[in-house]
Amino acid sequence: MNPPITTPLPVKRASRWNSPYDGNNLRPIVSVFMTQQAYSRICVHSVSDMRNEVGGILIGQWCADENRQQFLVVEHALPARHTRQGSVYLTFTQESLVDIHDQIDANYKGEIIVGWYHTHPSMGIFLSHYDTWLHSNFFPEPWQVALVVEPVSATGGFFVRQKSGIFDPTRYFGFYELDGNYGRSMVYWTNLYQFDEEKGDASR
């Protein structure tokens, strides 16, 4: 794997959405920046089946700024089209992984897999034992992340490995929404709140 791309943090064109766990002495390895296009596609896919889990792959760039602060830019979300799924599980089959890599090669050259997402209909935001196993085995890079969306309650959050090496399946992080819609936010997850880093305050 190549080193991260060196580029400034794109905070000036992003809005910060915090989870209840952000800032509680947790030190994630990376911050997550997500485009509105990726967020919108995830949300549309998430409500396509309100009884069974659905999921896909997050692609974009792994970056670091001049101070070596690492961050991800999630440019696109690719729904997995060949999965085994039920009300409490989702499995990426070999066919789904081949299909994802074919899509990246054909349409998203220069981008890499930075993580994955899946839904927990009516179950809450956490990673199960199987989710944690899947993340460790299929997304082993320290900077790769897992996003869980609960479409019934309209909630979501990222699970990120911490600098200490801990990967807590019960504490999730928020993200930076990259502005592509002329200043209008698209984030509607009710468990996140908008945080003004310059003022140090929050609002919904």
Q: What is the mean pLDDT of the chain?
A: 92
Q: Is the pLDDT of residue 36 over 80?
A: yes
Query: Residue 158: what residue type?
Result: F
| Model pLDDT for residues 138-155, shown as the tens digit of each residue | 999 999 999 999 999 999
Cα(79)–Cα(102) distance, integer angstroms: 13
Residues 6+ apart with CB under 8 A from 126: 120, 148, 169, 170, 172
Q: Are 4 and 70 in contact (CB under 8 A)?
A: yes
Q: Is the pLDDT of residue 180 over 80?
A: no
Q: Whole-prediction pTM value?
A: 0.94
Q: Give Cα 111 distance to the centre of its chain.
A: 15
Domain hosting residue 180, numbered range: 5-203
Q: Give Cα 189 distance to the centre of its chain.
A: 13
DSSP 70: E
| Model pLDDT for residues 192-201, shown as the tens digit of each residue | 999 876 656 6
Q: Which of 197, 203, 204, 199 is nearest to 12 (CA)?
A: 197
Q: Is the pLDDT of residue 131 over 80?
A: yes
Count of the separate structural domains present in the chain: 1
Q: What is the CATH number of the domain that holds 113?
A: 3.40.140.10
Q: Are 26 and 171 in contact (CB under 8 A)?
A: yes
84 — pLDDT class (breaks 50, 70, 90): confident
